[in-house]
Structure 1
Amino acid sequence: MTRFLPLFPLNLVVFPGEKLNLHIFEPRYKQLIQECETSGVTFGIPAYLQNQVSAIGTEVKLLSIQKIHSKGEMDIKTEGLRLIRVLDFFKQAPNKFYPAGTIEEIPDVLNEDPQLKIKITECIRQLYSILGINKIFLQLPANYRIFDIAHHLGLTTEQEYELLQLPDELTRQEFVWLHLQKLLPVVLETEKLKERVKMNGHFKNVVPPNF
């Protein structure tokens, strides 16, 4: 089933369930947010990559307008709802300043592998421990989804968009598992290098070999 939805393309990837804070300053998007506040309409955020609006994005809802600045700029809080596919993109909705498009919802398949999730969780624990950000790991709920951690895995924007396009939770788990398998050894080696650099110039107690 298709429907018409206001769109707010951004040079970032928004995931379902994500809480996103935005500073709104362009007149066309100030108009959109004002309509969201008065009518409760939602809007889509498709990723703007390689100078074009991507086909996949996330429908979001306005949670609150936190502040309106003297020149009308806004600080807002939003939340990602669901994945959408943009079928047709229009630079301006009828009689509006902001873009819009014909979209369809993308159903989400929650078919996670519990054993793979344990492996991913352990890798994340190691990674966050090395990086000194254990607080993020401790705040991770047991029922987390891949989308919940996607911004905390060292992915590029292009990789995040690749993840956003994957059709189900199991495929996302496999994507993240492969990424962590590549990332963790690099981070470990970097930490070892930092330690070697720190030791340079210290008095070394080195036992010579017997021969």
Structure 2
Amino acid sequence: MSQPHQFPPDDLTELPLFPLNLVLFPGMRLPLHIFEERYKAMIGDCIERDAPFGVVLIKEGPEVGGPAEPHHIGTSARISQVQHLEEGRMNLLALGERRFDLAEIVQETPHMVGLVAFKSESLGDIPAGLADEVGTHYEQFLKHIGTLAGSWNAPVQIPEDPLDLSFEAASTLTSSVELPQGIRQEILEVETVADRLIRLLPLLQRANELIQEQLAKNNPYRGPSLN
């Protein structure tokens, strides 16, 4: 994992933080059930101000109750849907927006608040054909998980923009297969689109291999392909 950086004060924004046992990527949908008093207040304030909050993976400590130490790279999220329940509880859907670097935690209670620097996304030096190759394997992955879910021949759309492709593929892959949280965090922390695509390619290839094996087990009457 990379280390925290020093930032000019003008580059820093105060952001309420939600430490969770998950990694959120830009563009990723995040359903949450809010029941702790501290997060009822935090989310209520975000709703009132139409303001984002930050999601950070917990490095050490519990998700519920006591204090948690977060990783310093996270993603801001904006609330898109809210269902209000009894006793102030809420079901909500948020959408990942922008990666940030957590420079300093300025408040621990009742909920965590940090000074963050939002990250600029850099394409880097993308090798020729890499985005197309990742797109091909991602399309195959979407079709495979659709087949496992019973959605035979469902149409899929692949982002043409390499940045959008890198985040969407990361979001879908990490939401659909078992990966250690450390690997998910490493993918989030990758600085350039090129390096993220390079990191994702073997993961998509391996995921497709495993799903193909699962599909073959689910269809024992299917003979070997001659192609």
Q: TM-score, normalised by structure 2?
A: 0.73
Moved over 6 A (4+): 134-137
CA contact (8 A) 1:124 1:137 kept: no
Aligned positions of 1:1-211 closer than 5 A: 1-51=11-61, 52-65=69-82, 67-90=83-106, 92=108, 97-111=110-124, 112=126, 115-131=129-145, 132=147, 138-143=156-161, 144-153=164-173, 154=177, 156=179, 157-192=181-216, 198=220
CA contact (8 A) 1:36 1:42 kept: yes
Give the RMSD, CA atoms, in angstroms.
2.5
User: Deviation per CA, 1:38-63, whole angstroms, max 9, x where unpaired?
Assistant: 22332211111343311110112222
User: Deviation per CA, 1:143-188, whole angstroms, max 9, x where unpaired?
Assistant: 3421112132236132211100000111100001122333433444
Give the whole-Å Cα distance in 2 for the aligned partners of 1:68 and 1:47: 26
Give the whole-Å Cα distance in 2 for the aligned partners of 1:140 and 1:129: 11
Give the whole-Å Cα distance in 2 for the aligned partners of 1:128 and 1:38: 37
What is the number of residues matched between the two proteins?
193
SS at match of 2:74: strand
Q: Which has the larger radius of gyration?
A: 1
CA contact (8 A) 2:104 2:115 kept: yes
Identity over aligned pairs, percent: 24
Consecutive unaligned residues in structure 1, runs of 5 or more: 200-211
Give the whole-Å Cα distance in 1 for the aligned partners of 2:92 and 2:37: 15
